[in-house]
Amino acid sequence: MLWSATARLSANPSPLHLPVFNQSITVFGKSKPSRVCCSPSRAMETNDDTSKAKGLSFDDFLSKKPYSPPTWASHLKPIPSHVFSLAHLPTPIHKWNLPNLPQNTEVWLKRDDLSGMQLSGNKVRKLEFLLAEAVAQGADCIITIGGIQSNHCRATAVAAKYLNLDSYLILRTSKLLVDKDPGLTGNLLVERFMGTHIQLISKEEYAKIGSVALTNVLKEQLLKEGRRPYVIPVGGSNSLGTWGYIEAMREIEEQLQIRSNRVKFDDIVVACGSGGTIAGLSLGSWLGALKAKVHAFCVCDDPDYFYDFVQDLIDGLQAGVNARDIVSIINAKGLGYAINTSEELKFVKEVATATGVVLDPVYSGKAAYGMMKDMAENPSKWEGRKVLFVHTGGFLGLFDKVDQMAPLVGNWQRMDVNESIPRKEGIGKMF
């Protein structure tokens, strides 16, 4: 188990429980920096300073605006002309008190899982740019593709509906289930509530045909019906979508600037599933002021595939840099995409118990597992460093793992009330 591995860092490892915090933890996010004083009984927030970080008013949300890039990215081409405000930004950054870190190592958490409700996670940042282009081109519907529990597909369906666009999803599933009702678990529940058009394809057919050809088949069908479809690739990961995390890097810089005691992140850690997020973060860190080393834990395919893919994305922006110079990609797929070992799921459960942060099992869960494993095996590599972990969301994916998770989650029993406690019919109000 990973936690027993990390315990090797200390002769007297701390138990897997958060200590009581007497010191204050600085949280910076929303519209103002906050000081959150943590105790077992309460959390108290005060906002003292005027923040430079942007906050959305009711006039901003779902609005389409002209886009101006960060000054350090102004040489990239093409620059998007417009962007939609779809996400709740900026997302908070706070200290993440993981047990058994290497000596003097700090881990901070960028909460992109809090970028919205149904429309949450890292995909929203990409969709802000992609859907602006779709609307500009006069599209009346959106096509995208992914796994049966794709967070990207769910976010696309919600964002499209917000903008009065229909959505068509091609979802990959097993050949045993391709002719059956896919159910209402996790992301599927949200998609089907939205009236999304869902088409199932078996993993075997997907592997033989590929995502580009499949979306083109559906596009041609819709064009013949008189529709005006706009195709978004897997994960929203193309050069246009990459701007979502170039912009996120500007957001991180602004959040750091408003802190009285400046934090300087040495490393950024993030999951990699389709490549667009790591391309934007890596390019933004390289070009901008942060200059943090980006570590991407890939949850499918392999590092060589993603180095080539990220290179294509940044070449599409005429960035003139080598992908291998700006990001380190580490294999964290384990048994395969969206397949978890019991040890990985136990890790996700223990992180939630210890820190209150719920990771998803497909992306951030595997990335955090990989990070902690590397810290245990190579502590000197991480000692004394300040690490920003980007939580990319995906909470709904946990619902697809309930059968595997059930043995790890107890914590319940029938309440035993002694007969000596007075009883009177109707005394307890049933709301």
- CA gap 339, 404 in Å, rounded: 11
CB atoms within 10 A of CB 15: 11
**Bridge partners, 391 (sequence order):** 111
Q: What angle do CA 310, 315, 316 make, to 5 degrees?
A: 100
Query: Where do the H-state alpha helices sit in 258-337?
Result: 276-287, 303-315, 323-326
pLDDT band at 28 (very low <50, low <70, confident <90, very high): low
Can you give the pTM of this predicted structure? 0.86
Residue ranges of domains in the chain, CATH in brackets: 70-121+238-398 (3.40.50.1100), 123-236 (3.40.50.1100)
Q: Is 237 a known active-site residue?
A: no
Q: Which helix or strand (DSSP H or E) is residue 197 part of? A: strand 197-202
Residue predicted with more confidence, 2 or 235 = 235
- CA gap 65, 350 in Å, rounded: 42
Residues 128-168: pLDDT tens digits?
999 999 999 999 999 999 999 999 999 999 999 999 999 99
- In b/e form, how buried is each residue of 220-259, taking b as 16+ CB within 10 angstroms? eebeeeeeebbbbbbbbbbbbbbbbbbbbbbbbbbbbeee
Query: Where do the H-state alpha helices sit in 117-238?
Result: 123-136, 151-162, 187-193, 203-209, 211-224
- CA gap 269, 370 in Å, rounded: 10
> Of the listed 150, 167, 211, 364, which one is catalytic?
150
Of all residues in the chain, the percent with pLDDT exceeding 90 is 80
Residues 363-382: pLDDT tens digits?
999 999 999 999 999 999 99
Helix orientation angle between 276-287 and 303-315, rounded to the nearest 10 degrees: 60
- CA gap 203, 171 in Å, rounded: 9
